[in-house]
Amino acid sequence: MREGYHNLLRREILELIPTSARRILDLGCGTGALGKALKEKQECYVEGIELNKEAAEIAQKNLDHVCIDNLNRYKPNLTIKKYDCLIFGDILEHLINPWTVLQKFASVLTDGGKVIASIPNIAHPWILSNLEKGLFRYEPAGILDITHLRFFTKTSIFQMFYSAGLKVVNFRAWPSEKNPTQYHVTAVKLALGPTKPVATILILTHNGWEYTKECIDSIKRNTITPYKILVIDNASTDGTVERLRQDTTLYHIENSHNLGFSKGFNVGLMLVDTPYFILSNNDVVVTENWLKHMVNLMILGPRSNYVSGPQVIKDIPYTDRGSLEAFAKARNDVIGAPITYFFRIVFFFALFKAEVLQRVGFLDEIFGTGNFEDDDYCMRVATKGLKSAYDNTVFIHHYGSVSFKKNPQEYKELLEKNGQKFMQKWNLTQYGGQQRQGNL
């Protein structure tokens, strides 16, 4: 037993445990010091799992029940079927496959039950500074503990919890934002209903909470087909993150930096586990029946008021939500072909078959903040012999380029720069989609 390593009380973790939790499972409980303090603090049953036999024998005196077992196997002899709280105190980084372990143990969590975890931050400034010098030195303890098998950043922690079906509701750097040695995570198991989602709606945000809220509200109001929302936030500073944490009807991921369009969305695309997914800007308003058309296409876009190319509908008549919804509903019965095949769909809002990720891959990240990644992806889809189209019966309102309107000159320069990258990549001298508005 490592001296002092297995018998830490961790008061900073103790304060995170819900006082309402009555059945608690401490994974990697050490000598049970934390569980003992919990039992003294509140009425509860605390069970522990510990690999180190010497530490486990001490823990048996402090806790109600202790399993001496290896979490990598996930075959502990648990005494009850459901727990109100799971504790992963500096343990996930020691596991061979922490993603699978977290997912499996989430299955014994009650709906609304919480997971409390502390996880070292491999993106600590000291680590990054040493990496620039070519140094990555293991230590007896700390972030680079020699027994650590896995390493995490803020983004990858959120990804791991999402893949386990857990929603992060509280997230803090410890001991401080300036010295983020580790992160403390509080996550809850969402009860999203018995029907498995057909589509994952990925929404990319960077500030603009008023638009994001309207977008999310419109999805909840106008979507009947089973779905789940995954918001990927690119380091918002306007309160967006705090509001996303409070909404337990959706999942979200918090990036430490503004990763731009492609890289930001790719963070979420890595996690898609539904037959369809949607890429959505945060400044759109969806309308009734928008998700009813599940067609055999790789990419399907809507018509809109603010979009380049033939997807646009000019001279829109609506002036408020009521007239917007009436206008959109009338288009459900549009005369003529409901689907128009076209080589380029703008990704301000687009529906995809998940199969496209296996056949085409993720968005190309060379386009930075944004623009032309959708042109590029549609070209890649076409080279695979696949089709894209837009749906004439579906209308989505788009406020349009909210993030770039604040600096039009910067937007113009970015558009020109990314246009050159696109032309060079595809060895083109001219391109029909070059006159365009952005997708942000």
Residue 114 has pLDDT above 60, yes or no: yes
Contacts of 270 (CB under 8 A, 6+ apart): 159, 362
Q: In which element (H, E) is residue 281 found? A: strand 276-281
Confidence band of 191 (pLDDT split at 50, 70, 90): confident
277 within 8 A of 256, measured Cβ to Cβ: no
Residue 8 has pLDDT above 90, yes or no: no
Residue 1 has pLDDT above 70, yes or no: no
Q: Give the model's pLDDT for residue 105.
A: 95
Which among 162, 177, 161 is positioned nearest to 237, based on CA atoms? 177
Q: Give the model's pLDDT for residue 437.
A: 42
Confidence band of 438 (pLDDT split at 50, 70, 90): very low
Amino acid at 226: P
Confidence band of 435 (pLDDT split at 50, 70, 90): very low
- Residues above pLDDT 70, as percent of the chain: 94
The whole-model pTM stands at 0.94
Please state, as a whole number, how many other Cβ atoms lie within 10 Å of the Cβ of residue 135: 9
User: In this predicted model, what pLDDT tens digit does every residue of 61-88 receive, in sequence order?
Assistant: 999 999 999 999 877 788 888 999 999 9
Confidence band of 195 (pLDDT split at 50, 70, 90): confident
Domains of the chain in start order, with CATH, are 11-189 (3.40.50.150), 199-425 (3.90.550.10)
Residue 154 phi, psi (nearest 5): -55, -50
117 to each of 51, 85, 89, 188, how far by Cα in Å? 18, 11, 5, 12
Average pLDDT on 328-343 reads: 88
User: pLDDT averaged over the chain?
Assistant: 92
Give CA–CA dist 432/173, Å, rounded.
48
Higher pLDDT, 384 or 433: 384
